[in-house]
Amino acid sequence: MGIEPTFIGEGSPKQVAQQFFNKLGKDTVFIPSSNLSLGTVQELIPSSQKEVVTTYKTVYKKEKIPDQDCLVFTSPSNVEAYFFGKNM
């Protein structure tokens, strides 16, 4: 797409948070967030250096989810929502 990331973290959420904070320096960051976010990465950033805005709401839906060969989850609430739908 022509867009290169300026940060790619590795390790546990806390390790990624520390790496991101180190990369941030004195800059300020906008963090779009879910209503169910654990805030693991953002908790290490001082409030003066971050603007956290709830930009989307995770909604659990009761609907049949077909079997897949591979699944990618990007948050704990993704996993919960998946099993909520599977076990309806």
Predicted local distance difference test score (pLDDT) of residue 78: 83
pLDDT by residue, tens only, the chain of 88 residues: 688 988 999 998 889 989 999 999 999 999 999 898 888 888 889 999 999 999 988 888 877 778 889 988 888 888 888 888 666 5
CA 65 to centroid of chain Cα atoms = 22
Instruction: State which residues form the domain around 47.
Output: 1-57
State whether 10 and 48 are in the same domain. Answer: yes
Per-residue burial over 56-84, b = 16 or more CB atoms within 10 Å of its CB, e = otherwise = eeeeeeeeeeeeeeeeeeeeebeeebeee
Give the predicted TM-score (pTM) of the model: 0.66
Query: How many other CB atoms are found less than 10 A from the CB of residue 17?
Result: 19
Predicted local distance difference test score (pLDDT) of residue 86: 67
CA angle 36/75/60 to nearest 5° reads 55
State whether 5 and 44 are in the same domain. Answer: yes
State whether 10 and 30 are in the same domain. Answer: yes
